[in-house]
Amino acid sequence: MADDVAPSTDEGGDRPPASLALILLISVLVVATCGLIYELLAGTLASYLLGDSVTQFSTVIGTYLFAMGLGSWLSRHVKRDELGVFLRVEVLIAALGGWSAAGLFLLFPIVSDFRIVLYALVLAIGVLVGLEIPLLIRILRHRFGFRELVSNVLTYDYVGALIASLLFPLVLVPRLGMIRTGFVFGLANVGVALALLYVLHRQRRAGVDLVAALLVAASLFVGLFYADRLQRWSEIAFYGEPVIHARSTPYQRIVITRLRDDLRLYLNGNLQFSTRDEYRYHEALVWPVLGRVANPASVLILGGGDGLAAREILHDRRVRHITLVDLDPEMTHLFRDTPQLAQLNQGSLSSPRLTVHNSDAFRWVREARGTYDAIIVDFPDPTEFSLGKLYTESFYHEVARLLAANGVMTVQSTSPLIAPRSYWTVASTLEAAGLSTRGYHAYVPSFGEWGFTLAAHRPIGNGVWLPPHLRFLTAATERAMFDFPPDMARRPTPVNRLDNQALVRSFAQEWAPYES
């Protein structure tokens, strides 16, 4: 075996060739893991900041793979010193990839066209990542036979991809968060460069490369140390309000802000409630249902992990038991165990009359047995396909199976003023599932005109009972909610099915002009 890595490189060395070869193969594993992590970070951030996860992930992945192909093509123009070029590529990737999440978060509130910045960064990182494997193959070509070389490099590359795909959703995002994850893997990239510089310190004049690597490493350590502060700065700029709680879970980004006496909950950047007017929303969500059921002894809530709908339902002494199904245990734990939030929902999540199931609603409904006198469906808006499935005919068929013969359900259905096609698509889909529907709407200042849809196995009447303690609803205002002026009147709409997800597309189109 030759003493040189390649004829065009200047390392020869006192260290055994096998040592360098092993480090380079381990480098394949590290760079493959880092490369996929940067791709996942970009896709996740794009879906978090821009919505529509399918579109964002598809375009980010496509752009990234194209850029990798471009980088592989450009590698042919590296005529000499492949190892030196590889070291510099690692340092550049460490800088761009390590700071990518923090940079994107910080730039989102201040740049006019965020997509240009996003895809320029994806292209740059992808081109650099595309250079890595061809350069490594050329560096290693004199240490292995061709078959052994290809199998070794591809094996380490694919194993790295598997490691990244498992670590990212299960460990990195929930435990480190996206900004800290970027810095950690940037340090892994620069660590590869530093390890190679150490092994080759007697064979190479690498003063500039070493200084650059150390400067990048130092910046990444500083970023890692201040990651929480960077996240807070970016979210304050994004929300325009002081952030008092922020947590990434395997399912979503939970942010709570407080400005004077106004507490707000955001999930993946979308406002869920403001304490100044949430009572309007939750009274409109709950009481038109309970008031139309003679004896709502058993109630099912799908979504509503903040416990605010449960708070309203527990005011009805006729209700003996509530079953609440919410995907994210962090949400229900947060609103159960944090004194300020538990005070807001009046301790509803600790009530002996309530049972919480942290489970995917689609799966839970399919497996559930028995019936409920009232069902409250309070999911976030269908901004992406994972949420859109909870507004489909298939899902409503399963929910209808759980609704008692004389029971009534309601579905949060977005704004009939801003998104009338989306709003009436919910009604069309419920009807396709065999239910009778009646739409209604209420003005909630934080959201504007907001819509709901009642559904039942029988035609839904006008008679309603309301308790005396309500702050918003009266018999007169309740009747007025069922009146739709022409600009919100019903129109022909498709049925939202799993195989078309028409609601997600119409929602994105109708809300696009209102995105900041």
Q: pLDDT digit string (tens) for 84-101?
A: 888 899 999 999 999 999
Element (H, E) at 321: strand 321-325
The answer to whether residue 282 scores a pLDDT higher than 90 is yes
Cα separations (Å) of 254 from 101, 207, 315, 467? 17, 45, 27, 33
Structure tokens at 284: 């409109």
| pLDDT at 157 (0 to 100) | 84
Map tokens 């006019």 to a residue. Answer: 112
DSSP helix/strand/coil, 81: coil
Element (H, E) at 256: strand 253-259
* Mean pLDDT of the 461-468 span: 84
Q: Give this prediction's pTM.
A: 0.75
Contact 160, 31 (CB under 8 A): yes
List the beta bridge partners of residue 410. 376, 454
Q: Which of 358-362, 378-382, 406-410, 467-471 has the lowest mean pLDDT?
A: 467-471
Q: Going from the N-terminus, what domains does the chain have, and what CATH number goes with each?
A: 17-235 (1.20.1250), 238-272 (no CATH), 277-514 (3.40.50.150)
**192-206 in b/e burial notation, b at 16+ Cβ within 10 A?**
bbbbbbebbeebbeb
Amino acid at 199: V
The answer to whether residue 202 scores a pLDDT higher than 60 is no
The answer to whether residue 40 scores a pLDDT higher than 80 is yes
- Catalytic entry in 328, 378, 381, 487: 378
Cα angle 316, 410, 319 (rounded to 5 degrees) comes to: 20
Contacts of 68 by beta carbon, 8 Å cutoff, 6+ apart: 35, 126, 127, 129, 130
Structure tokens at 175: 């435990």
| pLDDT at 420 (0 to 100) | 96
378 has catalytic annotation: yes
Cα angle 62, 63, 64 (rounded to 5 degrees) comes to: 90
Tell me the pLDDT of the chain averaged across its residues. 88
The answer to whether residue 227 scores a pLDDT higher than 80 is yes
| pLDDT at 239 (0 to 100) | 77
* Mean pLDDT of the 426-437 span: 97
Contact 284, 472 (CB under 8 A): yes
| pLDDT at 18 (0 to 100) | 56
pLDDT tens digit sequence for 148-159: 777 878 888 889
Cα separations (Å) of 217 from 33, 181, 211, 223? 18, 15, 10, 10
